[in-house]
Amino acid sequence: MARSPFRFAEGTAVVTGAAGGMGEHVARLLAERGSDLVLVDRDGDRLDTVASAIRAKHPGLSVTTETVDLADRDAVDALSTRILAGHPEIRLLVNNAGVALGGDFARLTLDEFDWVMDVNFRAPVRLTHALLPALTARPGAHVVNVSSLFGLIAPPGQSAYSSSKFAIRGFSEALRAELAQVGTTVTTVHPGGIRTGIAAGARVGVNIPAEEAERGKKDFEKLLTFPAEKAAELIVDAIAKRRPRLLIGISAKVPDLLARLAPANSIRIFAKLVGASGNAKAARTR
């Protein structure tokens, strides 16, 4: 059934991870399209800077900030209560916030693993569950859940991150099917290597040697070439068109194809492609 385009100026958009990267750029673009905003992040200073810039450019919009650590389940529940009390006209939820953790599973602690799952999966689930009655009460609402390249393939050293991103992918697909009849649509986003601070800010398991940790971060950073502002434009366009699924960048599109055509060998093939690409870039810069 054909869906009407999403109408940005008819309610409030909630965006998590809005203090930088894709979340910041998505928030700015939503404001340009007339959405009131609730911006969520754990970095309160940076979040205030983003919100102030949006208010200055769009004085007619309501822009509220919420400084919250999404790893804290009680804080997420309290956040939901405040949002519902202050913004009953919610029309869009963008679950964008995410954290990364490097290290093979055998050397991670369960607390470390749970931290990633809490931020990347359980927080979006709890926030969506709490806000869903308000969303579905307004025909034409929309939910965006940001998965990852590593929600398509699961490389070694990314057991926690991939688990969280595969989980949010499955949750989104089930939710999309369940909400189809009530007029609320869902987009799952799989960014490839987006140029953000996620690699620099990634945690490394306490049992991982420093040299190995540094090497892992550098390998991760090799993928981060796609501009965050361009990724945000694609996400907002996908919202407007109510696209069910968005792959951003060749580093997401190639693994998606490999996972379909050669599931048993997709990681090995992708690793070779990334290595060849990195060597080629190094040769061009010499």
Residue 218 pLDDT > 70: no
Of 125 and 252, the one with more pLDDT: 125
Calculate the CA 136 to chain-centre distance: 22
Spatial separation of the C-alpha atoms in residues 25 and 81, rounded to whole Å: 26
Residue 170 pLDDT > 80: yes
Mean pLDDT of the 192-201 span: 61
Residues carrying an active site annotation: 161
Residue 34 C-beta-side C-alpha neighbours within 13 Å: 7
Residue 1 pLDDT > 60: no
- pLDDT, residue 75, reads 98
Residue 106 pLDDT > 70: yes
Spatial separation of the C-alpha atoms in residues 175 and 127, rounded to whole Å: 13
- pLDDT, residue 278, reads 37
Label residue 255 by pLDDT band (50, 70, 90): confident
CATH of 8-250 among 3.40.220.10, 1.10.730.10, 1.10.260.40, 3.40.50.720: 3.40.50.720
Q: What percent of the chain has pLDDT over 90?
A: 67
Mean pLDDT of the 185-198 span: 81
- Output the CA angle 281-146-122, nearest 5 degrees: 130
Residue whose C-alpha is closest to residue 141's, from 274, 8, 275, 278: 8
Q: What is the pLDDT of residues 36-83, one digit of tens each?
A: 999 999 999 999 999 999 999 999 999 999 999 999 999 999 999 999
Domain ranges of the chain: 8-250
Residue 219 pLDDT > 70: no
Residue 275 pLDDT > 60: no
Residue 134 pLDDT > 70: yes
Residue 138 pLDDT > 50: yes
| Chain mean pLDDT for the chain | 87
